[in-house]
Homo-oligomer: A and B are copies of this chain.
Amino acid sequence: MDEQIKQSVLTELKQILSDRVSIDETVLQEHGTGFSYHQSSPPDFVVFPHTTEEIASIVNICANHQIAIIPFGAGTSVEGHILAVQGGVCIDLKEMNKVLQLDLEDMCASIQAGITRNQLDALLEGTGFFFPVGPGANATIGGMAATRASGTNAVRYGTMKDNVLSLTVVLPGGQIIKTASKAKKSSSGYNLTQLFIGSEGTLGIISELTIKLHPYPELSQAAVCSFPSIESAIHTAMKTIQQGIAVARIEFLDAITMRAINQYSHTDYREEPTLFLEFNGSAQLVKEQVQRVEHLAQEFGAQGFVWEMDEASRKKLWRIRTDAAPAIAALSPGAQMMSTDVCVPISQLAKCIVETQAEIEKTGLLAAILGHVGDGNFHLGIPIHRDDKNTLEKAKGINERLVKRALAMDGTCSGEHGIGIGKLSYMSLEHGQALEVMRAIKHAIDPKNIMNPGKLLPE
């Protein structure tokens, strides 16, 4: 950025935010590095607004100078969403972490976008309600909306697209809009809520959300069981879904993931293909579901069922699952993670995973397989050292062939992580002519291309 422009932008930002503008090298560097193997790319400024109106003022400054704006939540993106590839102003929403209205009668809450999952969980404790979308990382709810995130609960409760009633968005021209009312359903106009969910900051900045809350189930029960093969575990998951059993979670972890977990979390699970399961509902319903799934799993040779009945051990189990990503990375000390993210129709899942595993074995790459198999979504966790070009190239090759395999099965290159810069090269292959519609929308809403440029849409 031109030094003179930089100076005037800094002056203007400080007029609004006083000391909540940073040009500290460490801060800039932190904000230009995601949770992944991508090369870092710092912004010129990091700002910490407190209100939607402050965001609008920041956007106006950037729009006047035509400089890039990068919205930043917790920085847990794995696809380079927050890299400032053209420099510019990073808007860190971490200080916008308040619950604005808790409305239990309507089972929803209005929140600022910078609140994290863990902060929200803590604030909801004791209300009898919870927010069900839980990716592995302690992401912000705004960031999760921006990437259309999901996680282990999605098989039962849906993804961010299913759990947001409305958004407050600051547009690239500084206007503030609300995308919908608090009504549970509406046929009034284009669905702007869903347009901004998953738009990765390329159309505007999500500053506030009204999210749906769910009543805690009467009972939750979790289980771990291991299988003689990947196929048998996956077929158990497929049959569970196809029989309409409303499991709350059904997670696959391969033998490598189980080894990583045992080392990282000091557990002693069997190091075999494994399912982590959860059942929610009334005592009677949970009992029925458990019986049906246990029966199915045993038909596929499952062994060593461990039931986690009490709240503490159930929570521990899911923390262990959440820690699977760092556990896999720790298999190769000092490594970053590359995480693939395809999602395929459930009928194709076993085939997709088995073919992928055969290829991994052929290349000799260290890659763990795990995923939200009830949704047909799975990840390869590949530890990567940024300077190890050889492994990086191998991993990229596996990812590319995996994406092509998934697309050929009528699946998608990203089930929940988004495009960022990491998956740009697959957008044309996945969407064909529909990509032109996305480009037309981007151009209509952000004609100056200042909103998170270089992300989601390939040049």
CA A347 – CA B101 in complex, angstroms? 14
**Given A189-B427, A190-B195, CB of A177 within 8 Å of CB of B410:** no
* Bitwise interface map of A from 160 to 184 toward B, beta carbon under 8 Å scored 1, else 0: 0110000000010001111111111
Chain A 181-225, CB within 8 Å of chain B: the 1/0 string?
111111111111011011100010000000000110000000000
Which listed residue (B189, B288, B412, B456) contacts A183, Cβ 8 A?
Answer: B412
- Does the CB pair B285–A437 fall under 8 Å? no
Is A407 on the interface with B (CB-CB < 8 A)? yes
B-chain residues with CB within 8 Å of residue A288 when the two chains form the complex: 282, 284-285
| Bound-state Cα–Cα, A288 to B183, Å | 28
CA A443 to CA B406, docked complex, whole Å: 34
How far, in angstroms, from A444 to B178 measured CA to CA in the complex?
21
Q: Taking the complex as formed, is A148 at the interface, i.e. its CB lies under 8 A from any CB of chain B?
A: yes
1/0 contact string of A110-130 vs chain B (CB within 8 Å): 000000000000000000000
Question: Using Cβ atoms and an 8 Å threshold, which residues of chain B touch A407?
Answer: 181
- The yes or no answer to A441 lying at the interface (CB within 8 A) is yes
In contact, B192 and A198 (Cβ under 8 angstroms) = no
- Known A-B contacts A103-B347, A288-B284, A433-B177; the reply to A191 vs B198 at CB < 8 A is yes
Contact of A417 among B150, B187, B215 (CB under 8 A): B187
Q: Is the CB of B197 within 8 A of A423?
A: no
**Given the complex of chains A and B, what is the CA–CA distance between A103 and B175 in angstroms?**
45
Q: Which residues of chain B come closer than 8 Å to A434, judged between CB atoms?
A: 177-179, 189, 192
Q: Are A432 and B177 in contact, CB atoms less than 8 angstroms apart?
A: yes
- Which A335-375 residues have C-beta < 8 A from chain B? 341, 343-347, 375
- Total contacting residues, chain A, CB less than 8 A: 87
Q: Does A159 contact B (CB under 8 A)?
A: yes
Residues of B contacting A430 with CB < 8 Å?
A: 181, 188-189
Nearest-neighbor residue (CB-CB) of A348 within chain B: B106
A183–B105 contact, CB under 8 A?
no
In the complex, which of the residues B105, B186, B242, B427 contacts A343, with contact meaning CB atoms closer than 8 Å? B186
Choose from B198, B377, B412, B437 the contact partner of A445 (Cβ within 8 Å): B437
Chain B residue contacts of A254, Cβ below 8 A: none
By the criterion CB–CB under 8 Å, are A431 and B347 in contact?
A: no
A191 to B456, CA, bound (A): 12
Which residues of chain B come closer than 8 Å to A344, judged between CB atoms? 183
Interface string of A241-268 (1 = CB under 8 A from B): 0111000000000000000000000000
Please tell me if A376 contacts chain B, counting CB pairs below 8 Å: yes
Interchain CB contact (< 8 A) of A416 among B185, B343, B415: B185
| Residue of chain B at shortest CB distance from A204 | B437
Q: Are A187's CB and B419's CB within 8 A?
A: yes
Shortest distance from the beta carbon of A73 to any chain B beta carbon, whole Å? 15
- List, in ascending order, chain B residues with CB within 8 A of A438's CB: 189-190, 192
Which residues on B sit within 8 Å (CB–CB) of A181? 407, 410-412, 430
Q: Nearest Cβ in chain B — how far from A55, in angstroms? A: 15
Report the separation of the CA atoms of residues A243 and B198 in the bound assembly, to the nearest whole angstrom. Answer: 31
> Which residue from B106, B441, B445 sits with its C-beta under 8 Å from A347?
B106
Q: Are A215 and B243 in contact (CB under 8 A)?
A: yes
A214 to chain B: closest residue by CB: B244
Contact partner of A444 (CB less than 8 A), chosen from B189, B195, B443, is: B443
- 21 A-B contact pairs sorted by A residue (CB < 8 Å): A103-B345, A105-B347, A106-B347, A148-B185, A148-B186, A149-B187, A159-B185, A161-B194, A177-B437, A181-B412, A187-B198, A187-B341, A187-B417, A188-B414, A188-B431, A189-B430, A189-B456, A190-B456, A191-B195, A191-B197, A441-B441
Q: Which 9 A-B residue pairings sit nearest by Cβ, starting from the closest?
A: A194-B194, A444-B444, A215-B244, A105-B347, A186-B412, A177-B434, A183-B343, A182-B410, A440-B444
